[in-house]
Amino acid sequence: MGERPVLHMLHTCPFCWKIRSIAEHLNIDYQKVQVNAMKTKKELKFTNGWEKVPVWTEVGGEIVVDSTPIMKHIDVTYNGGELWNSENVTRRDEWIEWVDTNLSKATIPILYGGLFSALKTTTRVSKLEKFGFFSKRIYAWMGFPIMWGIIARSRVKKDGRKPKQLWHDLLTEFTDEFGDAPFFGGQQPDLVDLAAFGYMRS
């Protein structure tokens, strides 16, 4: 067993950036393990069927999966639960759900919604992620028309708004909720702010 908690992740995964955001905010000393993007199932076999990143493994061997539950676990374990604590639990629960539903869905259209942005994104992903020699090249050239043609376009079509407009509207809706405060959490960021930051950072 290691001496530091371990985060299994993909560099460009928005859910992984949520974990990186909270871990870095709390100054936690942890180890990052970048999985092979084409072998996630194989490399994450130890999760007993979850097989998605992020995965957080505690020093004692406890395995925590799913990004928002991992954030809550980190907050409780290393920070006394202060980031998740709230005077208005209904508002907090409603907005973490809003962030996880709306911002997560908006990442694919902005990255892959246009031909040029899709090519730029797949080229960047193929450079940043761990791939085999052939799968890197195959992903860079085959991944881009697939992501643009099928996935992003269908999501853009469903929403009707251009990806940039969608992000603009979502961020306006989110920050309007802050009122006069600088963060959703008030004077300091809370777990909802860090989750939103994670999606944006990715």
Nearer to ligand GSH, 43 or 190 (CB): 43
Taking the alpha carbons of 129, 146, 55, 95 in that order, is the dihedral positive or negative? positive
Least distance in Å: CB of 181 to ligand GSH?
A: 26
Residue of 10, 111, 152, 170 that binds ligand GSH (CB under 6 A): 10
117 binds ligand GSH (CB under 6 A): no
DSSP-assigned letter for residue 106:
H
Asked if 84 and 72 touch (Cβ cutoff 8 Å), the reply is yes
Token pair of 198, please?
């994670």
Least distance in Å: CB of 27 to ligand GSH?
A: 22
66 binds ligand GSH (CB under 6 A): yes
Residue 17 CA to chain centroid, in angstroms? Answer: 5
5 binds ligand GSH (CB under 6 A): no
Interface map 22-61 toward ligand GSH (x if CB under 6 A): ------------------x----------xxxx-------
Task: Give the three-state DSSP class for 7.
Answer: strand
Asked if 181 and 187 touch (Cβ cutoff 8 Å), the reply is yes
Residues 63 and 46: their CA atoms lie apart, in Å, by 9
- Binding site residues, ligand GSH, CB under 6 A: 10, 13, 15, 40, 51-54, 66-67
